[in-house]
Structure 1
Amino acid sequence: MKLKYLISVLAAGSLLLSGTSAFAAAENIIINGQTAQIPADMGSIKELDDRTFVPIRFIMENLGCQVDFIDDTKMAVISSISCTYLIQEGNQTLFVLPDQYEKTENIPMDTAAFIEEVELDGQTYGRMYVPIRFLAQAIGYEVGWDEATQTVTLTMAK
């Protein structure tokens, strides 16, 4: 009886380990045909509620935007050529502030950004994660998903 239990535990453990390594190996994003690997100190791809989340600084800087973070309000300020975007932890709205005299737009999201704390070199840092499909489409990118390779593809919309 104990032997069956031990074999079951070992088999379950090996399945968990193989699933983890398969996911960890698939942390790729292709942006306009170029593979963009997320550096380990910037975070990783997260799956939550059937959504793919990525670290906001990594993805937005790779899409040509500047990202600043306001600690007090837990809000990211994303600056592109034509707009400024605001996204806040726990808030399901993307605020779009056009650079010209256009009307401010609030775009509802079906999920909220979240912050994950990580420790690097004895310091604690926060990493804001955002739903990649929603945010990339909001700034004008087409988003694809390759199930076989678990790869997200972003291409500037024409």
Structure 2
Amino acid sequence: MKKFFTGLFLTSTLFIATPADAATPQIKIDDVVVKSDTAPEQKNNRTMVPLRVISENLGAQVHWQDSQITLSMDQATVKLNLNNRTVIKNGEKEQLDVQPYMKNNRTYVPIRFIAETFGSQVHYNEGKVNITTEPLRIEDEKI
């Protein structure tokens, strides 16, 4: 009986002591929650997100050709391959901290790289990720 209560106590302690950071981060773009059928993941201390959902919500186009993925928006272009840390960003080679990978038919990429490539800022706050985009300008007026 003593072992039963000890086990019960330890189990309940684990549920109470679970850190809030272990929860799946919520992702917003300009304070609007991004809906996706797959959740972001943590890999090597980086937040990995489904490529198409984030890219298209930022206004980028996604194009697959053979095994290469091309993202484009305005004058920014990124070419990447699965399981390869080397990307070509606006004609220049760069190395990612974490390579893109496929899981459940979704390509995951580091959120900061994708957001900053397309001129956005990434802010983390208590398990929430908010991406802020540059405001639209017409004749130097913010809209």
TM-score category (smaller protein) = 0.7 to 0.9
Runs of 4+ in 1 over 6 A off after TM superposition: none
Q: Distance in 2 between matches of 1:96 and 1:89?
A: 15
The equivalent position to 2:62 in structure 1, one of 42, 63, 67, is 67
Does the 8 A contact of 1:27 with 1:38 survive in 2? no
Could you list the per-position Cα deviations for residues 89-145 of structure 1 after superposition, in whole angstroms to 9, with x for gaps in the alignment?
111122124xxxxxx21121121111112xxxxxxxx10111111221122212211
Shift of 1:157: 4.5
Quick one: percent identity of the two aligned structures? 26
Q: Distance in 1 between matches of 2:13 and 2:103?
A: 28
Say which SS state the counterpart of residue 61 (structure 1) adopts: helix
1:86 has 2:79 as partner: yes
The equivalent position to 1:34 in structure 2, one of 20, 31, 34, is 31
Does the 8 A contact of 2:43 with 2:98 survive in 1? no
Alignment: residue pair count: 133
The answer for the alignment partner of 2:99 in structure 1 is: 112
Q: Distance in 1 between matches of 2:42 and 2:132?
A: 21
Does the 8 A contact of 2:82 with 2:99 survive in 1? yes
Could you list the per-position Cα deviations for residues 30-50 of structure 1 after superposition, in whole angstroms to 9, with x for gaps in the alignment?
x2x3313323x2x11111111
The answer for the alignment partner of 1:121 in structure 2 is: none
Shift of 1:8: 5.4
Q: CA RMSD in A?
A: 2.7
In the alignment, residue 75 of structure 2 is paired with which amino acid? S
Q: Distance in 2 between matches of 1:90 and 1:45?
A: 18
1:23 has 2:2 as partner: no
**TM-score normalised to structure 1 length:** 0.69
Does the 8 A contact of 2:58 with 2:118 survive in 1? no
Could you say if the C-alpha distance between residues 62 and 151 of structure 1 is closer, same or farther in structure 2, counting changes exceeding 3 Å? same
Does the 8 A contact of 1:66 with 1:79 survive in 2? yes
Could you say if the C-alpha distance between residues 128 and 15 of structure 1 is closer, same or farther in structure 2, counting changes exceeding 3 Å? farther
Shift of 1:63: 0.5
In the alignment, residue 81 of structure 2 is paired with which amino acid? Q
Gapped regions of structure 1 (runs ≥ 5): 98-103, 118-125
The answer for the alignment partner of 1:46 in structure 2 is: 41
**TM-score normalised to structure 2 length:** 0.75
Say which SS state the counterpart of residue 67 (structure 1) adopts: strand
Does the 8 A contact of 2:26 with 2:33 survive in 1? no
Equivalent runs, 1:110-149 vs 2, <5 Å: 110-117=97-104, 126-146=105-125, 148=126
